[in-house]
Structure 1
Amino acid sequence: MKIEMDRDPKVEKYKRYLLLERGLSANSIDAYMTDLQKLLDFMENKGIDMKSVQTVHLEEFLSELHDKDISPRSIARIISGLKSFFRFLVLDKIRPDDPAELVEAPKIGLKLPVVLSVEEIDSLLAVIDVSTAEGTRNYAIIETLYSCGLRISELTNLRFSNLFFKEGFIRVEGKGSKQRLVPISDVAIRKIKDWLYYRNQIPIRKGNEDILFVSSRGKAISRVTVFYYIKRYAEEVGLQKKISPHVFRHSFATHLLERGANIRVIQEMLGHEKITTTEIYTHIDRNFLRQEIIEHHPRS
């Protein structure tokens, strides 16, 4: 039988810590809780109490994950979450020691994100039927994702009160409720205005009046819905790449870098706290440059 996390006061206190002290988003907290549930299930099966967990138990737990063919990257993420949880237990004096302190994460290589070319993005947009409300909305969504380099949660939460079209900016609420101003292209502004013609005809549910992108039922469009349409359009155009809403954010950053934008500017646009997070795009840029040289070099 599963340990009910919501009924465990220690876990509830940890959730509040993640929200209030660390300022994590609801999606990030859900991910932490999902990974923590895996450990709680393991402990339940082994008959181990939270206060009795030792490093050897955690290593056995991680070994089981490895046997289930969970990727090293996912295991590294789970370890990071467990370290955060046990540090909290020590901080809150629930435990005197940290059994996760000596647990090492598996080494993982640099994973370069999937990136679409400008031509691929244009071909994907070209298959959208903009004679319908749904198609007009979806075109505006993809154009905004790409033009502004938004996370999917930032797009689904985008509000009228955060649009400053005259100034050419939108205000985005990112991770940890941190806000930033992002330039928006004239094309994206035009496509959003096209969508507004249809949106104004939809009865909007209470509490969604300020939300820009809504469903036909008048509620904020979901992440799942955006993902579904993007996959559908990619299949229609025959794209072989593994595509998701985040691919447009990666493509936005990569295209800026390829065209000479300063990496600090890109960091600000993406809302990355650390420059090291943005630096992954310099690896993509180097790959692009190498490809260009190999393709055009007289000795190749």
Structure 2
Amino acid sequence: MRELVDEFLYYLVVERGLAENTLASYNSDLQQFLHYLENGGVKSLREVNHGLLVAYLMKMQQEGRSPATISQHLAALKSFYHFLLRERLVESDPTANLESPRQLKKLPQVLTVDEVERLLNQPRPDTPAGLRDKAMLELLYATGLRVSELVALNVDQVNLEGEFVRCLGKGSRERVVPMGQVACFHVRTYLENGRGKLIKKTAEPALFVNQHGRRLSRQGCWKILKGYARAANLKKEITPHTLRHSFATHLLENGADLRSVQELLGHADIGTTQIYTHLTRKKIREVYDRTHPRA
């Protein structure tokens, strides 16, 4: 059986020209499978049937392997048996009717309204950097912008009178997003009292700049956010997208329709936005269980 695996790997190199890392992955997956067969007393690949493969995949699931890992193993097995069938080394393909396990989307981490308040109250407004950070966090939560969109904003893309920002999202699609009175107040305060001291005399167009007067990077924004999350003693894992996820979830919890949230987030496909409905349904269920007399 191991010689057949070697022949298969040679075929992948010569006829399909696969990369070394891909070959190593195939080899690792197939060696694990052969080890399983040998421990079960199976001495020939011809003995492998549909039921044995299902048992192998179920064993991987019981061991806590992720759906992605199991799918990867199954892909290696399918490719291997396709090769064996083509070379007439087996009479049938036991992987033919096997499907990969569903890979469920991981629900995003979301802050409660109180946790958002704690986070947004961390920056100190008595320094230029503090004014910048306060405006930055308020704007993130008020608009649901991606961090990449936030740091790409220029001053002339912010309309304080109309209380909206123009940003370029994925695929260079421009959208207009309302920013609300609170965020507008803090952005104006930063522009009037903080930004000038940070950019000094440079002609930087960026709205948010670092201590050197240059455009703030995504990494810089994330570092600032993580620091304030620690200061607020938030136990949840905070990522650059956390405020975006919280923005969408809080809108839906308070009655916003899915299409409007899709537009605000700049999602091309409403299916991407629908992940937030799982979070709001969970919230509704918790409220129901807590308040209904016969829940």
Fold conserved between structures, TM > 0.5: yes
Written as runs of structure 1 = structure 2, the 5 A alignment for 1:170-181 is 170-181=165-176
Change (3 A) 1:292 1:220: same
Distance 1:203 1:134, change over 3 A: closer
Structure 2 residue runs of 5 or longer lacking an equivalent are 1-10, 33-59, 73-98
Whether contact under 8 Å (2:142, 2:179) holds in the other structure is yes
Q: Which residue of structure 2 aligns with residue 278 of structure 1?
A: 273
2:221 to 215, 218, 226: 226
Structure 2 distance, partners of 1:180, 1:231, is 28
User: Quick check: 1:150 aligned with 2:145?
Assistant: yes
Name the aligned partner's letter for residue 196 of structure 2.
N
* Contact 2:12/2:23 (8 A) holds in 1: no
Q: Which has the larger radius of gyration?
A: 2
Match of 1:60 among 16, 21, 26: 26
Distance 1:267 1:221, change over 3 A: same
Which deviates more, 212-221 or 158-167? 158-167
The whole-number CA distance in structure 1 between the counterparts of 2:15 and 2:162 is 54
Relative distance call for 1:63 and 1:273 in structure 2 (3 A) is farther
Instruction: Please tell me the residue identity of whatever aligns with 2:18.
Output: V
**Is contact 1:205-1:217 (8 Å) kept?**
no
User: Is residue 200 of structure 2 the alignment partner of residue 200 of structure 1?
Assistant: no
Match in the other structure for 2:185: 190
TM-score, scaled to structure 2: 0.68
What SS is found at the alignment partner of 2:140?
helix
Using a 3 Å threshold, how does the CA distance of structure 1 residues 134 and 279 change in structure 2: closer, same or farther? Answer: same
Taking structure 1 as the reference length, what is the TM-score of the superposition? 0.66
Confirm whether residue 287 of structure 1 aligns to residue 253 of structure 2: no
Query: Post-superposition shift, 1:236?
Result: 1.6
CA distance in 1, matches of 2:244, 2:222: 14
What is the distance in 2 between the residues matched to 1:75 and 1:150?
35
Rounded Cα–Cα distance in structure 2 between residues aligned with 1:250 and 1:148: 11
Equivalent position to 2:291, from 265, 280, 296: 296
Compared with structure 1, are the counterparts of its residues 107 and 193 closer, same or farther at alpha carbon in structure 2 (3 Å cutoff)? same
Structure 1 unaligned blocks of 5 or more: 1-45, 78-103
For 1:158 and 1:76, how far apart are their aligned partners in 2? 40
Percent pairwise identity: 38
Partner residue, 2:239:
244
8 Å contact from structure 2 (residues 249, 279) kept in 1: yes
Question: When the two structures are aligned, how many residues end up with a matched partner?
Answer: 226
Equivalent residues in 2 for 1:1-300, closer than 5 Å: 48=13, 52-53=17-18, 57=23, 60=26, 63=29, 107-196=102-191, 197-203=193-199, 209-299=204-294
Amino acid at match of 1:203: I
Counterpart in the other structure of 1:86: none
